[in-house]
Amino acid sequence: MPPLLLSDDVEASIDGSFSWVQDESGTLRHVSGTKLSEDTGITVEDVTYQLKPSDISLTDESLGAGACGQVKKGVIVATGQPIAVKDIKIDDSAKKKMLLAELKNLVAAERCPHLVTWFGGFVTRSIVHIVLELMDLGSLRSLSKRATRLGDPCIPHPHLARISLSSTSGLNFLHHMHIVHRDVKPENILHNSVGEVKITDFGISRSLDATMAMAGTQIGTQVYMAPEMCLGSDYNFAVDLWSYGLVLYELATGVFPLDGSTIPELFMAIMEKPEPRLSPEYPSDLRDFVAQCLTRDALQRRDSDYLLTFPFVTENVESEEVFAQYLATLS
């Protein structure tokens, strides 16, 4: 097995040992206990998730790219289960760190119906293949594009409520697990033909401890970045709600609410222009929900626990079956 451990993986721990080591069998081990092996698959938190290349049949259809890897469509041969396979070439320290975060959070996601989960994975040479459930209609970006092609880029209010209940529930689960996603955007919220909506791409997520520790790394997609992240200030789970507020505004209107053809102009809009607000023509419960998300002061921004009590996602929210019927009209 070619070495997975590269020269830039000199990540010494306090006791002077390396974060990653590779044993004689070729298994790559991290100090956290995560193991990557061509023979035994992927081990996270003492649980081994093993699939072999022969278990998977890949198609030529590309599903795009995530934060650190390409994604292709396939099936599990034994069951015919449709899947998405993300290939991550772990050829530098940054990608290894993102992989660690993603694996840990995929294990956590198994317990939440609003997060994309996984079936396991396998390793070939220096590539880790993560086998994920397939969300057959793609991202909310593709939903918006389909609606636009049919003449109305604005997703109707009842469907926005269904999307928001699922999305906010997924974020709420992550936040209670002390995980901040840090890259909430339309491309990272997926949906399928049975009306399910799920958050994905945990590669740049970061764990915060139970005391509400603050992160300080500026990372994520810049147009959806919260004000405190733009400043390089400490931040917490509230950044995910700002980002989702922008996603929801965009789905409701068909227009991204912040102007800026350059990064400085965009940051100026995020930091100094009036906070985006939906006009009175939109239902008040939707307007209130968006306003609570798009509050510049992070200390005043509502958290996911509070947002899940809002009438917008508690009263008369349509079922996944009804949402699926709407989605069928866009095909």
Buried b (16+ CB within 10 A) or exposed e, 108-140: bbeebebbbbbbbbbbeebebbbbbbbbebbbb
Rounded to whole angstroms, how far apart are CA atoms 310 and 172? 14
Residue 191, SS3 per DSSP? strand
Could you tell me which residues come within 8 angstroms of residue 80 by beta carbon, excluding any fewer than 6 positions away?
none
Give the CA angle between residues 214, 219, 220 to the nearest 5°.
115
Give catalytic status of residue 60 as yes or no: no
Exposed / middle / buried, residue 210 (Cβ in 10 Å: 0-12, 13-18, 19+): exposed
Q: How far apart are CA 70 and CA 90, in angstroms?
A: 12
φ/ψ (deg, to 5) at 20: -115, 140
Catalytic residue among 23, 60, 91, 183: 183
Question: How far, rounded to the nearest angstrom, does the alpha carbon of residue 210 sit from its chain's CA centroid?
Answer: 21
Cα(201)–Cα(123) distance, integer angstroms = 19
| Burial (0-12, 13-18, 19+ Cβ within 10 Å), 281 | exposed
Residues with catalytic function: 183
